[in-house]
Chains A and B, each alone.
Chain A
């Protein structure tokens, strides 16, 4: 109902055409503040987009793409080549696999953590716990990969040394980093360890917006702790969860670079080569196939946008606000 009323209201009040000038005059300082960010996006995000053209042209980074001849197959040579390339298909598969697992395991983690933190009664302890949970976020993946090696390596890793001593078997080893399946587990686990704490911030902020009266009312009605979480806290978090989920889905084909690169090793590349690594290898790291890698990047973005719109559409269908 409100959706029907709002537009008509705003039209009556603002009447943009006639008031545009006065509006600008009155708030020019605010627009001025906006100028710099807009310039940033135009210069660094929109103008470079013109070079997407490279995906449809012959491989050349020396000359601007508009002077370069079109690639074969009506310009789609590189897309066809990518989808015939075993390595690309494998990295596509790995990207989807790792991102889905990250979504399933990594997405709920900060929510659960925020709920737990929210229930902590002792203020100082809560603050301390929060700080400890945030800290890993500030470590780079390079540092974490070093830590992982010292802790999880087959032979010299601390965990395996302890495990060997505990079992008394010298050959008992958990291949955290050397077997592809275990490696995926380590990858996801380290990701949660690093980012879950930081992810709680936004949920904790949302939690402060839930009226204490709701809790009181629920308590009066006889709801216990879990009932209150279920019927008050979680519904209060729902809009935040949906927004974050939509953004996360837009990233389903996106791939981090430093995380798989730093954590990977030669034994698990079959599981760890994601699209970003493929692009790095084929493109700037000596491969020199810039048109091919631009094509792959474009494909990645298009799928990402489709997922973003799709998720947004679904969210709206289910009565949520969405992000657009």
Chain B
């Protein structure tokens, strides 16, 4: 019995040693290349029926890494929308890919607390000179974004968001033309448009009049009404308050958000909003089908949403189903108290890349990040093959072509972001701007450029504060989002006279189950760092 106990303890000791083993430089790396072939696995998102790991883009990466560094790359594929679940399972099974990424930093923090994530700080210091492309693309700011100022730990690298536009309001210009109305420029005019759509359903939709949806939204109310929400937030709000109240990336807990929801509630009760929006879960295509069929007058969504997906885009379908004149255009009509069309843009960060402790090829993995960050690689992955994925215009711009989804050259994600791990958004050097609008074939480039312009107009990038980890955020994110969506849906669909009660109860509950703790901890840490005093 004693012998068994001793054995167990010895094994435990070895296991702990393995987990906490100290940093050691890689000896097998000579003159910019490994002397023996190394092997790393890398996370890769998959969308729809696409088989990304057999695409020419995957081949390009595998070939490039082998030639340049003598590193063999294997892709570990997981569904885009299962990524957090999948990550947990793989980490628990000690089987996670060497290079992983997710959008949720608290998730990484949670696994780091368990001892499952490598502290990158010493590796970055040691190998900094070998990673010029990565530093070039991400910049010092992104690389050290998540570095804990107290402990010095660096669990994840923030990848680069090239285009930080977020949300636009879209309206059916052809309907406005039919009704002899100009594009709306403020909230009152926008509301008048919705009322006109509702009251002229017969003119606009004929036999389908009953299907008229003046304004469409989804159960993700915060995101899908973000222009509306932000227009009620006082323009003078400080960066500190934005941060303290800003755990929710839908900005639903900023001052003024309630009034935005009250207006939406009013619209809902006046028959201006899609009645059934709350019944359909995320990923359901009913709303998109309504948009494509031409039943919807206006909506808010990602800044380029109706133009995405080439031939299957909302815009392309709309033109097929309704006629060539039918189109959604982006408009600015949600003014705030300073008269600005304020939007809170994303900062420069996007996905967070980290390495699990099972990764024993840290240098090779870092070199992968460097390789994938080089302008050459990004260009190749984003533009693909000439004649298949793109053609060159006279001005040098890249015009993207429509590729059949069954073709291996098909890019299942916009700008191929599933492959360009460290870069989200078109990044084509001097040709970026000119190429942007061509990225949405067959949609008219002018329409797309307008959407980008509107989305960034009066934009404000909330400031990033380098603070110690906020413990109250760990493991609560998805619960809070659920709770937020629940009460917003209930409040918006409630009768007008019940709105206050439902909304207030929802906020109180949200705060009680964790929202308040986060705000308090953020306020405390910001006060410690900057001296800012937060008053509720």
Contacts and interface: CB of A to CB of B under 8 A. Distances in A.
A281 B88 CA distance: 13
Contacts of A154: 275-276, 279
B485 A266 contact: yes
Contacts of A96: none
B219 A287 contact: no
A87 interface: yes
Interface stretch (A36-44, A54-62, A208-216, A248-256): A54-62
B274 to A, nearest CB: 8
A31 interface: no
Nearest to A155: B275
Interface string B482-512: 1001101110010000000000000001001
Interface in A155-194: 155-157, 177-178
A237 interface: no
Contacts of B474: 288
A86 B12 contact: no
A60 B88 contact: no
Nearest to B275: A155
Contacts of A284: 84-85, 88-89
Nearest to B106: A288
Contacts of A178: 278-279, 493
Nearest to A264: B281
A254 to B, nearest CB: 22
B490 A67 contact: no
B116 A62 contact: yes
Given A177-B279, A265-B280, A60 B107 contact: no
Interface residues of A, number: 32
A131 interface: no
B281 A62 contact: no
A288 B276 contact: no
B89 A266 contact: no
A181 to B, nearest CB: 14
Contacts, number: 107
B478 A286 contact: yes
A312 to B, nearest CB: 36
B398 to A, nearest CB: 36
Interface string A278-292: 000110111111100
A86 B483 CA distance: 12
Contacts of B482: 269, 281
A1 B486 CA distance: 61
B520 interface: no
* B interface majority secondary structure: helix
Given A267-B489, A285-B478, A86 B512 contact: yes
B479 A288 contact: no
B514 to A, nearest CB: 10
Contacts of A285: 84-85, 478
Nearest to B476: A287
A286 B477 contact: yes
A265 B485 CA distance: 10
Contacts of B188: none
B357 A287 contact: no
Given A266-B219, A267-B493, A289-B475, A63 B275 contact: no
B278 A265 contact: yes
B133 interface: no
A149 interface: yes
Given A67-B15, A155-B276, A60 B479 contact: no
Given A177-B279, A178-B279, A61 B15 contact: no
Interface in A84-119: 85-87
Given A149-B280, A265-B280, A267-B278, A281 B479 contact: yes
A270 interface: yes
Contacts of B211: 156
A153 interface: yes
Interface in B61-109: 84-85, 88-89, 91-92, 94, 104, 107
Contacts of A282: 475, 479
14 contacts: A59-B475, A61-B114, A62-B111, A62-B115, A86-B512, A149-B280, A154-B275, A155-B276, A156-B275, A265-B489, A267-B279, A269-B482, A284-B84, A285-B84
Interface of A: 59-63, 66-67, 85-87, 149, 153-157, 177-178, 265-267, 269-270, 281-282, 284-290
Interface of B: 12, 15-16, 19, 84-85, 88-89, 91-92, 94, 104, 107, 110-111, 113-116, 211, 219, 275-276, 278-281, 286, 357, 474-479, 482, 485-486, 488-490, 493, 509, 512-513
